[in-house]
Amino acid sequence: MIQMNSVTGVVLAGGKSGRMGTDKAVLNIGGRSMLDRVMHELFRLFDQVLLVTGEADQRGYPGVRVIRDIYPGCGPLGGIHAGLKAAGTPYIFVTGCDMPFVRAELMACLLDHAPGYDLVIPRKGEYVEPLFAVYGKGCIGPAENMLREKKYNIRGFFPEVRVKYIDRKEMEQCAGSDRCFINVNTPEELAEARRMSEDGEV
Ligand SMILES: Nc1nc2c(ncn2[C@@H]2O[C@H](COP(=O)(O)OP(=O)(O)OP(=O)(O)O)[C@@H](O)[C@H]2O)c(=O)[nH]1
């Protein structure tokens, strides 16, 4: 078990929202923006939260330090790298701003496994979830090497670090639901997320 004050919550919000066609972070689900929903859960666990935006973004959030990508336009890997560099803690917990049903309880499940690892990440079969994962400072060098080489697949640096995969089934047992991993990228996914929220499924 690690101390929660050794972890900074990091929200990535520097994407283009191309599939949605409008800024995803401010879209409302159940009376709150997606960004609000994510922030609320992070602040349930962590004292320090960072918002990582792109080069020209004007986004802000009350009480939250905003930082920019050091390697802009490189996708989420650039955001993870900037968050790790800026954090004053040995670990960060990374989420996207487009995951409206994240739960602090599931974050805590992953953090339980962090000691001795550079990365703790949920896995279901072949699929991993790099935008709901714990990253340690040991990931900075390998991530930076990838960015310098213009390779932006987050999984590309995993062989270079100590990775602990956590089966999503185990996480569900720990904290109830895997709705937490729902990612809202398109108008159709937004409509479905709103329906789930209205029907009390989340
Ligand atoms: N800081 C930062 N965050 C990013 C960047 N690209 C994507 N993100 C964030 O990473 C998460 C997942 O992004 P994606 O859904 O893959 O990409 P997107 O640009 O938001 O959306 P699309 O344009 O539809 O692919 C979201 O929270 C994005 O805001 C980036 O270059 N920098």
Which portions of the chain are predicted below pLDDT 70? Answer: 1, 175-178
Distance 1 CA to ligand 1 centre (A): 30
Phi and psi at residue 121, in whole multiples of 5°?
A: -140, 135
Output the known binding site for GTP: 12-14, 24, 69, 98
Q: Give pLDDT, residue 200.
A: 85
Q: Give pLDDT, residue 179.
A: 83
**Helix, coil or strand: residue 163:** strand
Residue 3's identity, in one-letter code, is Q
Q: Give pLDDT, residue 147.
A: 98
Closest CA to 15 of 29, 26, 28: 26
Q: What is the spatial distance between Cα 21 and Cα 201, in angstroms, rounded to a whole number?
A: 26
Q: Which residues have CB under 6 Å of ligand 1?
A: 12-19, 52-54, 69, 73-76, 78-79, 96-98, 131, 185
Output the known binding site for Mg(2+): 98
Ligand 1 atom nearest to 96, measured from its CA? 27
162 contacts 118 by C-beta, under 8 angstroms: yes
Parent domain of 140: 4-198
- Number of domains comprising the chain: 1
Q: Give pLDDT, residue 176.
A: 64
Ligand 1 atom nearest to 72, measured from its CA? 31
Q: Give pLDDT, residue 177.
A: 67
Containing 19, the helix (H) or strand (E) segment is none
> Distance from CA of residue 161 to its chain's centroid?
18
CA dihedral 82, 119, 125, 12 (to 10 degrees): -20
Using alpha carbons, list the distances in angstroms from residue 127 to 82, 95, 121, 155, 169.
24, 16, 10, 11, 13
Distance 76 CA to ligand 1 centre (A): 6
Q: What is the spatial distance between Cα 164 and Cα 162, in angstroms, rounded to a whole number?
A: 7
> CATH code at 22?
3.90.550.10
Q: Give pLDDT, residue 201.
A: 80
| Residues contacting 118, CB < 8 A, separation 6+ | 135, 136, 137, 138, 139, 161, 162, 163
Ligand 1: residue whose CA is nearest its atom 21? 17
Ligand 1: residue whose CA is nearest its atom 32? 14
